[in-house]
Chains A and B, each alone.
With several copies, the nearest count.
Chain A
Amino acid sequence: MSKVDKLWLWFHRMASPAYFYNIAGRLLPWIAVATIILMLVGSVGGLVYAPADYQQGDGFRIIYVHVPSAWMSMFVYMVMAVNSAIFLIWHIKLSDIVARSSAVIGASFTFLALVTGSIWGKPMWGTWWIWDARLTSELILLFLYLGYIGLRSAIDDRRVAGRAAGILALVGAINIPIIHYSVVWWNTLHQPASVSKLDNPSIELSMLIPLLSMALAFKLFYLFIVLVNSRSELLEQEKRSQWVKELVTSQ
């Protein structure tokens, strides 16, 4: 058996609902614990141990929510697009479930990034909002998420909703880099209204560790939500299949 074949085999096993259900069930508690620990490390580290910024005072501590959620907002869209592609090409239902549960949480991360950014922006720039490249792209990303969610909720046949929204996610994914670069380029042309302090390369270790652990915690939290969603969704979708019947009778 070649390596590629082995990979395929693994892939198919993972995609088999019963197998996935069990594995996910066993992983969940671990993920939950890890999320909580990392979250604690991040917040204690960020709120207590990290020094106050010499310029921004304690206000900067919102970074520990803002930056991870901003990172997640883009990451989750990528996950969603990849899974949509898998669903459209190979008709693997699990991918559709992942894409769907990603949408809402991705939109929430994006919203959180926008809100925390604005809150931070008020003391920083004296205004809640500027039409800075990164901020604008983030706003458009929120619209893309909302479009995806809107389309999904407007179609009440689950199978069709998955395919239609999948097409949308892919078209959106092709567009994201284009949108991003057009906005960046537009901004440099215009001379941004006020100097954005988003690009701040120098960062101390005592700030970096809590930041990274928060980022990891956000990722795990996302994974947790997706797995929980997928499990209940799988039961729902496969309720007539043999393994669900066995599962129900065994309990």
Chain B
Amino acid sequence: MNRPVSSGNAELLAENLSYEINDKLILTDLSLAVRSGEILFIEGGNGSGKTTLLRILCGLMQADEGRISWNGESIQSALLDCYQQLTYIGHATGVKSDLTTIENIRFFSAISGLPASSDIQSALEWVGLSGYENSPGRHLSYGQQRRIALSRLMINSSLLWILDEPFAGLDKKMIEKLQDRFVEHADDGGLLILTSHQSIDLNKMNSIRIHLGN
């Protein structure tokens, strides 16, 4: 497993974000900061704007107002550097139904700029998909597909992880493993932003909570 490249003092900072859609204010004047070693847990009921916030943070959507900076630079100007440090996993997994598990993982690692030598086999074992190396994605259950997406967290050496409901669809054993991995990532100086409706035990981690919505 690779360690994050620089464990220095990375920081993601969002100031006064506002986002409105079709006359509905979804985010109003929201500020947050995450630093190396910290875990930001975003809570909130259904429809409180968690997904929207995460997509704005990783640049997939633009906030109407406010600014986001990565290590002091505005995210617009530091975009490519930031993307090299970013892993985002959303509601949709990006798993291709016609590629096998191995091929899926290899493709992800190639386009996220990882060396081809990355240890894919151990990542596969970690997500409990050994035995399914050559099954095409469409033959896998919902939870198994999500596991493929999550395997990137094992190969990856990026600093900033933004995960939208990473526990959805997973069984208990996998949730445990994932939580351990999060702690490890934070200990290595990584940054983590996640949402979840499952109440998870983040006490052992250096975690901050933000509550969205009323």
Residues of A that sit less than 8 Å from B by CB: 156-157, 159
The distance in angstroms between the C-alpha atoms of A156 and B22, with both chains bound, is 8
The distance in angstroms between the C-alpha atoms of A157 and B21, with both chains bound, is 7
The distance in angstroms between the C-alpha atoms of A124 and B21, with both chains bound, is 53
The distance in angstroms between the C-alpha atoms of A159 and B65, with both chains bound, is 13
Least Cβ distance of A160 to chain B in Å? 9
Chain B residues near A159 (CB, 8 Å)?
62
Chain A residues near B62 (CB, 8 Å)?
159
The distance in angstroms between the C-alpha atoms of A2 and B62, with both chains bound, is 35
The distance in angstroms between the C-alpha atoms of A159 and B56, with both chains bound, is 15
Residue-wise, chain B 21-53 has the 8 Å CB interface mask toward A (1 for contact) of 110000000000000000000000000000000
Residues of B that sit less than 8 Å from A by CB: 21-22, 62
Residue of B whose beta carbon sits closest to that of A156: B22
Chain B residues near A157 (CB, 8 Å)?
21-22
Residue of A whose beta carbon sits closest to that of B136: A156
Least Cβ distance of B158 to chain A in Å? 28
Q: Which 4 A-B pairs have the closest CB atoms?
A: A157-B21, A156-B22, A157-B22, A159-B62
Least Cβ distance of A55 to chain B in Å? 55
4 A-B pairs with C-beta separation under 8 A? A156-B22, A157-B21, A157-B22, A159-B62
The distance in angstroms between the C-alpha atoms of A157 and B22, with both chains bound, is 7
Least Cβ distance of A154 to chain B in Å? 11
Chain A residues near B22 (CB, 8 Å)?
156-157
Least Cβ distance of B59 to chain A in Å? 15
The distance in angstroms between the C-alpha atoms of A159 and B20, with both chains bound, is 11
The distance in angstroms between the C-alpha atoms of A157 and B52, with both chains bound, is 14
Least Cβ distance of A114 to chain B in Å? 32
The distance in angstroms between the C-alpha atoms of A157 and B62, with both chains bound, is 12
Chain B residues near A156 (CB, 8 Å)?
22
Residue of B whose beta carbon sits closest to that of A91: B62
The distance in angstroms between the C-alpha atoms of A156 and B98, with both chains bound, is 11
Residue of B whose beta carbon sits closest to that of A239: B23
Least Cβ distance of A159 to chain B in Å? 8
Residue of A whose beta carbon sits closest to that of B62: A159
The distance in angstroms between the C-alpha atoms of A5 and B22, with both chains bound, is 37
Least Cβ distance of B136 to chain A in Å? 8
Least Cβ distance of A100 to chain B in Å? 17
Residue of A whose beta carbon sits closest to that of B18: A240
Residue of A whose beta carbon sits closest to that of B20: A240
Chain A residues near B21 (CB, 8 Å)?
157
The distance in angstroms between the C-alpha atoms of A159 and B21, with both chains bound, is 9
Least Cβ distance of B140 to chain A in Å? 14
Residue of A whose beta carbon sits closest to that of B21: A157
Least Cβ distance of A46 to chain B in Å? 47
Least Cβ distance of A240 to chain B in Å? 8
Residue of B whose beta carbon sits closest to that of A157: B21
Least Cβ distance of A153 to chain B in Å? 13
Least Cβ distance of B7 to chain A in Å? 36
The distance in angstroms between the C-alpha atoms of A159 and B62, with both chains bound, is 10
The distance in angstroms between the C-alpha atoms of A96 and B95, with both chains bound, is 33
